[in-house]
């Protein structure tokens, strides 16, 4: 039996695309199968996904490269700045060597009566810096009494190793301070450097420090203190005027010098009780327009001005004026400025105590109880304390200049 085979004609599938398949694709010679169409669609989707993945990867890679570039630039800049700072530090170290790097001995004289100074001679004059010859303990070192080869009596101050930052700074300070000549300033006669040892040769002032005279302390090597007596009011006024004149001299130089540590132990008294300002270990030069800025607060507790508490650490003439005012209170009352006073069951500082007593017209009561008071004028004492109060004004610009203070003191 003959079997008739009917040809199977595939019907066109539903086209998922919006554009209809042209009829020529469905001609008998080019009949599409279902499998072929599915494969074509699958390949198109894979290509689209691959393109999207590559685009995403490219974006991420680009962002990573930008971040890496930013990190590299920042790190390079930081390293370069550190290198610059390191080079600057190395340069400063070379320009300002520490005393240990100074090998050669050096000495200088600022007085024509002393034509030679050596460390060996100074050791002989002080008996190798014997404690038996110590006459004072100033800032940055001990002070010894000594007799030089020419028979002159001098004070020898052996500085602590940290008294100055370096040898060049020390020498610059000595060249400045060594030429100061005033009747109320202790003369620096010369200096000597040998290795780590640095020594000043100073004018010897016979009666020792003002601190020893107003606070009843003594030195075993000062014969002038053996018969010490309470200073009279007239002598105290003389001392105050001497200190004021010395400060006017320092502040009035072409390049003013600010002492920065005015206090009773830094005022020496000669045989006539004339005051001599000493201990320039904290002194700083300033120009006529700007205060010398320092990285640390200088001075002694009780004498430092209130602006130091506010972070103002520049060396100014008005800071010396404040310390001088405190010294005036101390000289008249024999009260230490760093110790509290009690009034009306309340503790307070020296300035507050004095001003409260003045407000109550009790200024005669606060004078040194050991001082003779016969014939003393109450009006003069009040004016004295008024001048001291002006010097210790809280606000710096309200304080008078030292030249004005001298004029006021001369009217007492």
- Give 321-334 pLDDT, tens digit per residue: 999 999 999 999 99
pLDDT of residue 407: 97
| Helix, strand, coil abundance in the chain, percent, nearest 5 | 45, 15, 40
List of residues 6+ apart from 87 with CB closer than 8 A: none
Q: Residue 59, Cβ neighbours under 10 Å: how many?
A: 10
378-391 and 350-359 helices, crossing angle to 10° = 140
- d(Cα 112, Cα 350) in Å, to the nearest integer? 45
- Give 19-55 pLDDT, tens digit per residue: 554 544 444 444 444 555 554 555 565 666 666 667 7
Compare 313 and 99 and report the one with higher pLDDT: 313
Closest-CA residue to 371 (of 406, 335, 323) = 335
Greatest Cα pair distance, the chain, in angstroms, is 168
Q: What is the mean pLDDT of the chain?
A: 77
Residue 105 a catalytic site member: no
Strand-pairing partners, residue 181, are none
pTM for the full model? 0.70
- The DSSP secondary-structure symbol of 206 reads T
Range 159-178 average pLDDT: 72
Strand-pairing partners, residue 173, are none
List of residues 6+ apart from 95 with CB closer than 8 A: 168
* Residue 113: pLDDT over 70: yes
pLDDT of residue 307: 85
- Please state the residue numbers annotated as binding site: 158
pLDDT of residue 239: 98
The domain segmentation of the chain, as residue ranges, is: 99-204, 206-412
pLDDT of residue 402: 97
- d(Cα 249, Cα 180) in Å, to the nearest integer? 9
Q: Quick one: fold of 206-412? A: Transferase(Phosphotransferase); domain 1 (1.10.510)
Taking CA atoms, 352 is separated from 340, 368, 411, in Å, by 10, 17, 26
pLDDT of residue 59: 74
- d(Cα 258, Cα 315) in Å, to the nearest integer? 6
- d(Cα 26, Cα 101) in Å, to the nearest integer? 103
- Please state the residue numbers annotated as binding site for ATP: 158
pLDDT of residue 75: 58
pLDDT tier at 291, thresholds 50, 70, 90:
very low
What is the CB-side half-sphere exposure of residue 308 using CA atoms within 13 A?
20
Q: Quick one: fold of 99-204? A: Phosphorylase Kinase; domain 1 (3.30.200)
Range 85-111 average pLDDT: 48
pLDDT tier at 169, thresholds 50, 70, 90:
low
- Give 212-256 pLDDT, tens digit per residue: 999 875 555 555 555 678 999 999 999 999 999 999 999 999 988
Compare 308 and 407 and report the one with higher pLDDT: 407
Strand-pairing partners, residue 342, are 347
Spot the catalytic one: 211, 261, 279, 368. 261
């Amino acid at each position: 039996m003959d079997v008739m085979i009917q040809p199977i004609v595939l019907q066109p599938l539903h086209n998922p695309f919006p554009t209809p398949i042209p009829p020529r694709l469905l001609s008998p010679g080019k009949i599409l199968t279902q499998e072929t169409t599915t494969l074509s669609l699958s390949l198109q989707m894979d290509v689209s996904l691959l393109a999207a993945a590559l685009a995403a990867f490219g974006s991420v890679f680009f962002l990573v490269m930008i971040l890496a570039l930013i990190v590299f630039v920042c790190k390079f800049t930081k390293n370069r700045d550190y290198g610059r700072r390191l080079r600057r530090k190395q340069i400063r170290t070379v320009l300002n060597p520490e005393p240990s790097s100074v090998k050669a001995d050096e000495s200088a004289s600022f007085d024509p009566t002393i034509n030679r100074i050596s460390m060996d001679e100074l050791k002989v004059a002080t008996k190798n810096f014997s404690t038996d010859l110590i006459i004072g303990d100033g800032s940055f070192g001990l002070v010894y009494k000594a007799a030089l080869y020419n028979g002159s009596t001098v004070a020898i101050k052996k500085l602590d190793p940290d008294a100055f930052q370096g040898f060049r700074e020390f020498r610059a300070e000595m060249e400045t301070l060594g030429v100061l000549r005033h009747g109320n300033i202790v003369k620096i006669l010369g200096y000597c450097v040998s290795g780590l040892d640095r020594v000043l040769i100073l004018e010897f002032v016979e009666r020792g420090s003002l601190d020893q005279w107003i606070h009843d302390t003594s030195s075993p090597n000062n014969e002038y203190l053996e018969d010490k007596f309470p200073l009279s009011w007239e002598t105290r006024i003389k001392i105050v005027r001497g200190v004021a004149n010395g400060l006017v001299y320092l502040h009035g130089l072409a390049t003013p010098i600010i002492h920065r540590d005015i206090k009773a132990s830094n005022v020496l008294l000669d045989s006539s009780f004339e005051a001599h300002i000493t201990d320039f270990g904290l002194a700083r030069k300033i120009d006529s327009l700007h205060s010398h800025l320092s990285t640390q607060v200088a001075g002694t507790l009780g004498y430092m001005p209130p602006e130091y508490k506010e972070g103002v650490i520049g060396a100014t003439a008005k800071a010396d004026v404040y310390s001088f005012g405190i010294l005036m209170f101390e000289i008249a009352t024999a009260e230490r400025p760093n110790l509290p006073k009690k009034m009306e069951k309340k503790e307070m500082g020296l300035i507050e105590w004095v001003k409260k007593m003045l407000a109550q017209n009790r200024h005669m009561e606060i004078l040194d109880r050991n001082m003779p008071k016969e014939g003393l004028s109450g009006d003069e004492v009040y004016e004295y304390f008024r001048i001291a109060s002006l010097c210790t004004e809280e606000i710096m610009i309200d304080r008078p200049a030292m030249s004005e203070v001298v004029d006021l003191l001369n009217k007492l």
